[in-house]
Amino acid sequence: MRPVHIVGPHLNNAPTRYLKLKTVPTLLGYDPIIQVVHETDTVRAFELALKPSVRGIFNIVGAEQAPLSRIIEARGARALPLPEILFRKFIRAAFRRGLTTYRPGEIDHLKYTCLVDGSHATKELSFKPNKTLMQSLHDLG
């Protein structure tokens, strides 16, 4: 099972914490397409994959994807575009001092688009997410 960024109201993971921010730091000049999947859809996908006859590797994706700027806007938050060198220095220093759990390498997720195809899970598991992107974002509070 290879889910995209899992988000949800019961999670305390990096994607959920990041998207819950009121002011969201971003990389100046970049607006990657982001894929998220709701926690309940992820659990359901894992349940479907536990059937005895199921074999294989499955990408688990949400219903839609969108540019980070639109996701931030949909959350009612404000983007704070930062030059990459400053953003990386800040995260490195904050991580070393234990002020954040965000690892410096995670910044690449804010720079590069990485889209995965979930059609194999749809075909073999009959998995289709129940939550839209907007519902997933709304559930974050």
- pLDDT per position as a tens digit, 38-92: 999 999 999 999 999 999 999 999 999 999 999 999 999 999 999 999 999 999 9
Kindly list the domain boundaries of the chain, sorted by start residue: 2-138
CATH fourth-level superfamily of 2-138: NAD(P)-binding Rossmann-like Domain (3.40.50.720)
pTM equals: 0.91
Which of 5, 7, 111, 125 has the alpha carbon at shortest distance from 57? 125
Q: Is the dihedral of CA 50, 55, 56, 61 positive or negative?
A: negative
- Averaged pLDDT, 5-12: 97
Does 136 have pLDDT greater than 90? Answer: yes
